[in-house]
Amino acid sequence: MRAIAIRWMQFTLAAAAMATTVAAHADVYGYIDAEGVAHFSTAKIDERYQLFVRGNQPFDSAEFTGAASPSTSKPATVAKNHSPLFQYLTHHPNLKKYEPLLNQAALEFSIEPALLKAIMAAESGFNPGAVSPKGAVGLMQLMPATAERYGLAADARRSLDQKLTDPKTNIRLGARYLRDLRALFPGKPDLVIASYNAGEGAVQKYRNAIPPYPETRNYVQLVTQFYQFYRPAVAEAGASASALASASPSVSGRRVQMTIPGRASMPASVTGTLLQSID
């Protein structure tokens, strides 16, 4: 347990550094459409997108919780706490539903729950049945080929895709993959996140740097900002379920749409190196 705690602390410190260096300049825009689907982007795609988080300022989670800011000891603005986008990210019904599985996987693989939540929010919007155009499946949007690398296989009753829609299986494999990516890129959480999007092979191809794909670069920034939402300060001071119901009544079962400029330039297939299980 001590080794796990040390690794967790090291990753937390590295992630905090990454939050101020990699994503500090990433503004986040978003809106919720008429059907209750949330859309997020690191650029103002059109007039529907409104500024959600300004990236050139230090992120203070107290601004979103109504708590006092540690640096100023003054009451923070609570208006943002009622933002439908914030409510969507922090109080989606499935977030609470799957939180025990997230915490269990986080403990097993020494991954921060905040990072798992951030990736899940960006990848699937907490929808276990989500399937991407490229074939990624489930809450953590895992490719079947990645699942096979960890021994998941189809059987007479269920296909590989069907198995990946199981929340426990999907979350655990996603956390395990992140653990192995962290071992591959120690102390570089930005490269861990980039690898989750583009594949570790792409990161290695560019000499252990974030690949020059607009999608991946914006993905790293967006996930890093989401990570800030899910750090303990937000969880401890969250709004009540009744406030969520009145502010965002139609989030259940909806998927977050992450619209990123340059997605069309992303390679159709990026092959990663075969990670070895270290269980």
**pLDDT for res 56:** 58
Angle at 20 between CA 17 and CA 26, to 5 degrees: 140
- Whole-number pLDDT of residue 159: 95
| CATH number of residue 43's parent domain | 1.10.530.10
- Domain membership flag for residue 152: yes
Q: Which of 223, 253, 246 lies closest to 95 in space, CA to CA? A: 253
In a domain, 276, yes or no: no
Query: According to DSSP H, which parts of 76-112 are helical?
Result: 84-91, 93-109
Q: Is residue 248 part of a domain?
A: yes
Q: What is the pLDDT of residues 69-119, one digit of tens each?
A: 344 433 333 345 568 888 888 888 999 999 999 999 999 999 999 999 999
Average pLDDT over residues 117-135: 92
The structure tokens 């982007």 sit at: 41
- For residues 168-179, average pLDDT: 98
- Cβ neighbours of residue 275 under 8 Å, at least 6 residues apart? 149, 177, 180, 181, 184, 200
Paired with 31 in beta bridges are 39
Lowest mean pLDDT among 22-31, 153-162, 179-188: 22-31
Order of strands across the sheet that contains 50-53: 50-53, 28-32, 38-41, 257-258
Quote the CA–CA distance of 93 and 89 in Å, as a whole number.
10
pLDDT at 121 over 70: yes
DSSP string of 189-243, one letter each residue: HHHHHHHHHH-HHHHHHTTSS--S-HHHHHHHHHHHHHHHHTSHHHHHTPPPHHH
208-256 pLDDT, tens digit per residue, is 999 999 999 989 999 998 998 888 754 444 433 332 233 332 333 334 4
Top pLDDT among 87 and 37 is at 87
Residues marked as catalytic: 123
Cβ atoms 272, 199 nearer than 8 A: yes
254 CB burial (10 A radius; 0-12, 13-18, 19+) = buried
Choice between 47 and 3, residue whose per-residue pLDDT is larger: 47
Q: Has residue 141 got a pLDDT over 90? A: yes
Confirm whether 78 is domain-assigned: yes
Give 67's DSSP letter.
P
C-alpha to C-alpha distances, 264 to 37, 45, 60, 216, nearest whole angstrom: 22, 15, 33, 12
Does the structure show a pLDDT above 80 at 42?
yes
**Given this model, what pLDDT does residue 125 score?**
87
Query: What is the count of structural domains for the chain?
Result: 1
Q: How far apart are the first and last CA of the chain?
A: 15
Give mean pLDDT, residues 179-207.
97
Residue 82: the pLDDT is: 64
Q: What is the pLDDT of residue 44?
A: 87
What is the domain extent for residue 137? 2-265
Whole-prediction pTM: 0.71
Average pLDDT, the chain: 74
Higher pLDDT, 169 or 279: 169
Closest to 204 in 3D by CA, of 118, 112, 137, 275: 275
DSSP summary character for residue 271? P
Q: What band does 28 get if pLDDT is binned at 50, 70 and 90?
A: confident
pLDDT digits (tens, 9 = 90+) for 53-66: 776 554 444 444 33
Residue 35 is predicted with a pLDDT of 81
Cβ-Cβ contacts under 8 Å for 194 (sequence gap 6 or more): 202, 203, 210, 211, 216, 217, 219, 220
Res. 200 pLDDT band, cuts 50 70 90: very high
Q: What is the pLDDT of residue 267?
A: 41
